[in-house]
Chain A
Amino acid sequence: MGMEDDILKDFLAESKENLELLDQQFVELEQEPENEDLIKSIFRTIHTIKGTSGFFGFTTLEGIAHFAEDILSKLRDGLVQVNEEITTVLLQSVDYIKAILAELENTGQEPVDTEYLDFIVDLRNFSEKITKNVSAVNTHDKQPETAEDTEEAGSAKSAGEETSEKAAAEAQAAQEQEKAEKAQDSKAADKDVKEASGQVSRPEPKAATPRVKKKGAKVHSAHLTETHVRIDVHLLDQLMTLAGELVLSRNRMTQLASKLNDPDFATANQRMSLVVTELQEQIMKTRMQPIGNVFNKFPRIVRDLAKTASKKVQLKIVGAETELDRSIIESIKDPLTHMVRNSIDHGIEAPDIRLQSEKPPVGNLTMKAYHEGGQVIIEITDDGAGIDPDKLRAKAVEKGIISEEQARALSNREALMLIFQPGFSTAEKVTNISGRGVGMDVVKTNIEKLGGTVELESSIGVGTTVKIKIPLTLAIIPALIVNSAGQRYAIPQVNLVELVHLNPKSAKKDVQIIGNSEFYRLRGEILPLIRLRKALAIEEAEEEPQGSEGMNIVVLNAGGRLFGLVVDSISDSEEIVVKPLGSHLKNIPIFAGTTLMGDGRVALILDIVGITSSISSSGDDSMKQASGSMGAGREEEHQFLLLCSVGPEEFFALPLALVNRLDKIKASDLEFVGGKEVIQYRGHSMPVIRLENYLPVSPLPEQDEYHLIVFHMNDKDVAFMVSQIEDSLDLTIDVEEGIFKQEGILGSAIVKDRTTLFLDVYQIITMHDPDFFVMEHLAADEPARILLAEDSTFYRNMLTSYLGAAGYEVVEAEDGERAWNIFQNETVDLVVTDIEMPRMDGFELTRKIRSQNADIPIIAVTSLSGEENRQKGIEAGVNDYQAKLDRDQVLYAVSSLLHKRSMENAA
């Protein structure tokens, strides 16, 4: 009901203003009865009140307004002349309307008082009288009688009225004269009178001209209190700016207070601080508007669009009361319209098609807004056909947006994002609704300009959801202040995930340098590091503070992708006022704006997404192999790969996530123990593996120094020895098997123009030491058949390899659909499924399996775990959720689930 409340508020505020004007206008009207504009203006005001009260079901109010309008319409049409009598009656109506509005404001209800109903009757009579006067050109002295007749006629007309005695033909004749318009109106009138009669005992026939009654005086004294005023928007903006300045001064004061260390001053400052915060919040509220202001334009838009497209669409609006900054509301209207258009035009199917696919013929479109984590989320959901990623791929290739190879490399989610590419239109034919397919890219740009993001989710046949996240306000945001090369920079708190400080020792130990990039292993996840100095192109002339003070890493989320920003030091978090950069500086991608600090100096606000994109685009060409064109996106099949070489010609790649450490050793440090090469490493002797011993590759040439790739698995260390660590890359793994199909190799791909072999790390380690992965804590595995659904060749081979090595029989399937077929025809003991797969994804596969078999253990595996997916997986019915690369965990999960199941079966 929130939206209705708001409308009611607006209605009351507006009506009050207009009514004040009416008093004056009526008086003027008496002076110049011929003034048409004046009559029209009054008419409009009354008409609006009538319409809105009808909408809310305020029958008394509607009744009064209706008859007043009736009288006015005659004035407007020149049928009667304004005279004192008419003005008096109209003014009375205004008074009654005001009294009702006052009551509405106080209680939200119309007043229940017979007096109002009496007045309606009087008013109606008067209106009839005028009508009659017009039609019959009556003389003045005939008036009382006529009035009485019409009064009866009016009463008689209402069907359920107990007072009805006889229908007065006269009144009907008069009504007929008024024809169409009148016919409708009288219906309303009847309703009113009927309503009235429910509570009123038969009103005494009154004199034709209603008089102001004594009781009326009481009602009129309930004058309207002003609760709303209109304020110039510029004034509000100015207030906002000043509030911003005040916040800055406050920040400065707080700094001084902590410096002065005077308790009295500190208290005073604290108090002021609170007030300033409050003040700022309140002023911010003046600029807040419910999103309903935009949403309520959509019922009409949807109706029109649906009609043009010959589709049936029902619009549902949720959360219209959600508030956000006025400036943002204005700028989201167009993007929203565009997306709604797209949903209707491309999403929702025509009624007959919907019926064929067993959906109700009327499509559902939901617009939903809500607050979440200091942001406003807007979702536009349709239950239409959904978007086919394959179609998008084909289209993108056809339009030359991406190459065929790139298209194949895209995951489904990435493919969906294609629709935001410039020059893309998914409609088979361009229609006049969705225009010429310019649009979605503009939508994305506009939303991003507001500091927001757009996400798209779609499943074929089920529907599409577009999710927009935008900040509440753009003016004042919380931010973290960091320092780099003597300057302060502000990082918007929305992007901030956590802060990590490394002492010099761990900075040296845990930060790995691979190629030109640095990485930090944060709780097992590989976190790419970006040095702010480097991003700012500040030359490293000065001594890096890292050596002595360790390393400060600000972990940031840039559009779903985490990275660490290395800064010199971290100051404080502060509320900052965002000010735009001048035109000379606008095009620098890594800055979002400027702000003033407490000491009056300027600090620059970092654009986190800008930093990542500037780094990756200015980075090396090697990135072009990756489908970097789609920008950020924590995509499933993206992996950081480590590239290394043996000799000048053999190139290898392996997932960086498996690597624990990189190191260099001298050739003289190698020892032979029991026929195997080992090295003293951190107090243990660690086996060292030469790849040529297990793979048909050229032997490691003699070198003074070798590079070690150290793995830590099953609580043991083991290392591969190679000539050179080449680089690290973030790319979509798309390997070809076949040519190099053999033990220890997962496949090959062209990386940086060289054929590169993807190593099966687990396999190679097992070949080296068959007992390496034997875990004591696991019971001996009973032979079991595992159904593995995984679309990526690379991962499928890897999973098969280590599951097979652990003694399981693995049945492979390239996608969910294939897996489903196998599941129906063969017996398996456990299912391991990827989440993102073409044709049928892991969630759907799980749901299908669960519909038949509630017991079989299902493990979902993914390259990166996310809480959202985990939740979704559990809802779909998976038993466990693991990272693909984490062999130990996956095996443990498999074994314990099988064990649990056999226990249950035994029981």
Chain B
Amino acid sequence: MAGLLGAFELGANALFAQNEAISVTGRNAANANTEGFSREIVDLESNRHLGITVGLTRRSEDNLLASREREADGNRGRATTLSTALAAMERNLVGRDNLPGNIAELFGSFMELASAPMDDVRRSQVISKAGALVSTFHDVANSASQARSGSDARLVTWAAAATEAAQEIASANRALGTSPDPMLMDNRDKAARKLAEIMGGQARIDTDGKMRFVLPSGEVLVDGDRAVTIQTVVDASNGNHLAVRAVDGQHVGVLTRSLESGKIAGEIAFRDGTAAQTQQNLDRLAYDLAQSVNLVHAAHAGLDGVAGRNLFVPLGSPTGAAAALQLNPTLTANPRLIAAGTVGLGQTDNQGAVALSALKDQLLAGGNTRTFTDEAIFDLTTVGSATKTAQGQLELESARSDVLKSTRDSISGVSVQEEMTHLASYQHAAEAAQRFIATVNSLFDSMLNKL
């Protein structure tokens, strides 16, 4: 037995332990709304001689769950950017102009010209409808092009954010080497999730307690105290769009094609996938349409009896055709030159207009598999289908993230009511310790007074 002096020590230890527990509870309650905070648990250990000792204050966490969360963050990041970018492009392509309708209107105007080849109003209508179609092609080409350059602009932002997150992890690794502060661990986990959301990849804690962040391609983004810089550079081999790379001193790893998840992967999938394909399809459609119309137009004669003129300015190649499409200015200035008739026949011959109108029913688009209007509808529906798929994927990933978030919350989240209960419990224990000390003190006084 340690005697009365030993009892004092017991009481002091108890008071210290409860105060430490109250302090941890207070920190938990204060961070109830802090994103990424893992509640802390103080280990109070019974001790035969000291009564109680305060063990380690540890974070309530599950490394496997954290790993799954990072994976889900990467998948959700990709689905979010892909879905958002696709939905915006779809709205721009479909909302502003009606490409299939304007193609139909051009052929409709040829059809009407066939019923009145000498009618100047019908001829002006052809020019007006062709002009509207040209303008629509410009709009949709612009939308697709802007969608792709918008992705490039966002890539710059994501690259900067990824670099920042990687550096946060590295500096947390450095700091944790000297002090195993739970708050630092929380911050490092938060940065790792942010990095995973942008770049995909996975983090693991090495035996030295430092976090290492690796992409599925094997590229290491954070290794202990070192972090790479994520850069964007102009890629001449990809239409001067941006390539993404990881730079660590002399080592440069090109990531553009190797990223599987994360926001950057979503942007690249959009930019080089659906958006590029859509741009290509629209260019091909504009090229095929201009070529086919020009071929028939040039074979027929205007009201002056002369053949050989094009309705559209001839295009060199399908690349950039939608944006480059232009009406022949000679015809715009003089619609009487629109080739509605046959060479050698009179002005009311309509075989040219009939032949131009007939193009609408021929399978001249989509590699000779679809009509022009069907091809335009198909191209827009393809974007719509991709958007719907991406939205479905986003819903799925969001649901997965939600489940993991709930699981994480059940392990690491702070319940204010729970902490209040703990606080009351620790407060009572502290009061009991105080009373114990007062009692021992009183005994000590009595004993001293009797001496």
Q: Do A and B bind each other?
A: no
